[in-house]
Amino acid sequence: MIGHQIKSLRKKEGMTQTELCEGIISRTYLSLIEKGSVQPSSSVLKRLSERLNTTIDDLEKNIESNHVDSITLERHIAKMLSKVETESDDLDDLMEDFMNQKYEANNELTHHEVSRIHYIYSIYYFNNKIYKDSMKHIILAIKNMKYHTSAVDRIKMYIQKGKLHLVLNEYEEAMNIFYETLFSIERNYITNQNVSEVLYLLGVTSTLLRDYYHSMYYFNKAYTFNVKFDYMHYMHEIIFGRIYVHDIFNKDLNSLVDEFKKYETIKSNLEVKKRLLMILNKDVNISHWLSKDNESHKFYEEVPTFVDYENMLTKNEVNQFELLDKQEKINLLDLFIIERSGLFMI
């Protein structure tokens, strides 16, 4: 758009709107031109061009060279979003090319497009544990999100920001964001898999704040939601949360064993399965489960955080865990769950 190009050149020349429009048009009218609300006449465009030290022809050439086909861009954004969410093997090369395009700096893009681009950047940096850059981009994504009304996009971005607060140990901030997200979900009658994710993260945050009653409430609610809609999203993690809090309250874990068996075959992060096995082992004979998974056999030897408990927690002496008193068990589990990974699993 010609207005965007005029605004870009004006800023490059270090001029204010008043300096550019003086003696030609009003500042209000120039503002409308720059927003694309009105088109300038040929005579006005000629005079503005002269003051910007350019020509009408050069203005139009710049517009053509900077033009981004909206359909192509939407496809590119959708492709990159899918890549970062699945952590594709070729992601690094694709992201380097995507970032070099600097789409977010193009004045022709809508706020919605800019918002989604920054969201992609945030996920990429988050997955690479570059949390400062991830936070910077999610803030920009949310800032641009104000100008469009996609409830699903809004929820995803708030979830992303909440996760960042979690890994930065800012639990109160995370809780506030997840509460706000849950409210938005209920207000918009959303029933997709983001619901179970938010409920799970509320459970995690409550646990890290040692508010175990609310932990149980949110983990149970997440589990019930997944069962109702036949979702598997975060199912192992949700079951892990329920088992962990049951253990905190010193409840019998046998009632949750069937849940673990039912969902044991879900494709999930092995680390989550290992954690489930460890806690269940306190009250349930799980040696036959360990034999199903070669990786699990090595579990007690692999986890570096358990160096001091190496002899106690080998695969041949797993029942020694029961010899610890209640507080030692809690301390050990906290060490494993929180210090090992920052939180449960996000």
- Grade residue 207 by pLDDT with cuts at 50, 70 and 90: confident
3-class secondary structure, 213: helix
pLDDT above 60 (res 334): no
- 84-113 pLDDT, tens per residue? 887 777 788 888 888 887 877 776 677 888
pTM over 0.75: no
pLDDT of residue 328: 54
- 269-298 pLDDT, tens per residue? 555 555 555 555 544 444 444 444 444 444
User: Percent of the chain scored above 90 by pLDDT?
Assistant: 20
Q: Give the span between the Cα atoms of 317 and 90, in whole angstroms.
A: 42
Q: What is the mean pLDDT of residues 314-333?
A: 48
Q: Which domains does the chain have, with CATH numbers?
A: 1-62 (1.10.260.40), 68-149 (no CATH), 169-283+330-345 (1.25.40.10)
Sign of CA dihedral 191, 197, 201, 203: positive
pLDDT of residue 187: 85
Pick the more confident residue, 287 or 169: 169
Q: What is the mean pLDDT of the chain?
A: 74
- Rg, Å, the chain Cα set: 27
DSSP 94: H
